[in-house]
């Protein structure tokens, strides 16, 4: 249950996108024409725009998108084609989507730790799991192949990282994702949990490559712009 709830809030963000329409244009194996690559469809006019979009996330350089309060600069590959968004039913501090069909998604949550919570990344992950349990129970989410590691951000091994695979089901559709979630304390007493999920339907190898790249490179590149936490954190 805890492994499921530690990531389901990120995956639920994608559920609003569940659909199946696409309009192939280029022949198989031909990359999308540059002029068709947009924020709305980073896969452009490729025969398989999902694979083309994931390939960009694997190969393009890192950049950063900010939240509205400019508290964080959030690391994203092919950053110009990510859009900052709000996700219905899942309150986030900041969220992003890659393409209108949610080829990939990203989000960050901030929570104030309680006196009884351990002031550790694991304590933050556990607190997030408890918060996300009601949301997790509303979705049939199966999580597997979870691997836990640590990454360095401000101090050695100060980010707890979990990579995983997940199946998310709704009444309308079913999707498979490769995801990664990290937990850390950007300020004393404040937990940040943030992560990325990549749609793997028919594109599992590229989704895994994108996930693994973010797991290795992404978490150390989060930029905290403010020396003090924003107001309103609960």
Task: Please list the pLDDT of the chain residue by residue as tens digits (234 residues).
Answer: 455 555 555 655 555 444 444 455 889 889 999 999 999 999 999 999 999 999 999 999 999 999 999 999 999 999 999 999 988 777 889 999 999 999 999 999 999 998 888 999 999 999 988 887 777 666 667 788 889 999 999 999 999 999 999 887 766 677 889 999 999 999 999 999 999 999 998 778 999 999 999 999 999 999 999 999 999 998
The answer to whether position 35 is within a domain reads no
Does a structural domain hold residue 231?
no
Q: Residue 64 sits in a domain of what CATH number?
A: 3.40.1000.10
- Does residue 34 lie in a domain region? no
In a domain, 12, yes or no: yes
In a domain, 25, yes or no: no
27 falls within a domain: no
Q: How many domains does the chain have?
A: 1
Which domain does 13 fall in, by range? 2-17+41-224
Instruction: Annotate the chain with three-state secondary structure.
Output: CHHHHHHHHHHHHHHCCCCCCCCCCCCCCCCCCHHHCCCCCCCCCCCCHHHHHHHHHHHCCEEEEECCCCCEEEEEECHHHEEEECCCCCCCCEEEEECCCCCEEEEEEEEECCCCCCCCHHHHHHHHHHHHHHHHHCCEEEEEEEEEEEECCCCCCCEEEEEEEEEEECCCCEEEEEEEEEEEEEECCEEEEEEEEEECCCCHHHHHHHHHHHHHHHHHHCEECCCCCCCCCC
Residue 101 lies in a domain: yes
């Amino acid at each position: 249950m805890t492994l499921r709830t530690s990531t389901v809030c990120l995956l639920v963000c994608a559920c609003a996108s569940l659909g199946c329409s696409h309009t192939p244009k280029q022949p198989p194996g031909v990359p999308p024409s540059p002029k068709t690559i947009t924020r709305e469809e980073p896969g452009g006019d490729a025969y398989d725009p999902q694979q083309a979009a994931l390939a960009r996330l694997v190969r393009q350089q890192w950049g950063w998108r900010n939240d509205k309060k400019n508290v964080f600069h959030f690391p994203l590959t092919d950053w110009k084609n990510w859009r900052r968004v709000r996700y219905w039913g899942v309150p986030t501090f900041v969220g992003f989507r890659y393409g209108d069909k949610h080829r990939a998604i990203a989000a960050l949550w901030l929570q104030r730790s309680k006196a009884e919570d351990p002031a550790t990344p694991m304590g933050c992950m556990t607190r997030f799991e408890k918060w996300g349990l009601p949301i997790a129970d509303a979705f049939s989410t199966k999580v597997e192949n979870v691997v836990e590691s640590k990454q360095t951000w401000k101090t050695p091994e100060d980010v707890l990282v979990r990579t995983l695979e997940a199946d998310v089901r709704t009444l309308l559709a079913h999707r498979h994702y490769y995801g990664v979630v990290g937990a850390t304390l950007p300020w004393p007493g404040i937990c940040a949990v943030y992560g990325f999920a990549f749609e793997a339907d028919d594109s599992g190898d590229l989704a895994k490559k994108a996930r693994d790249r973010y797991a290795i490179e992404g978490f150390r590149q989060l930029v905290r712009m403010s020396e003090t936490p924003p107001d309103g954190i609960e």
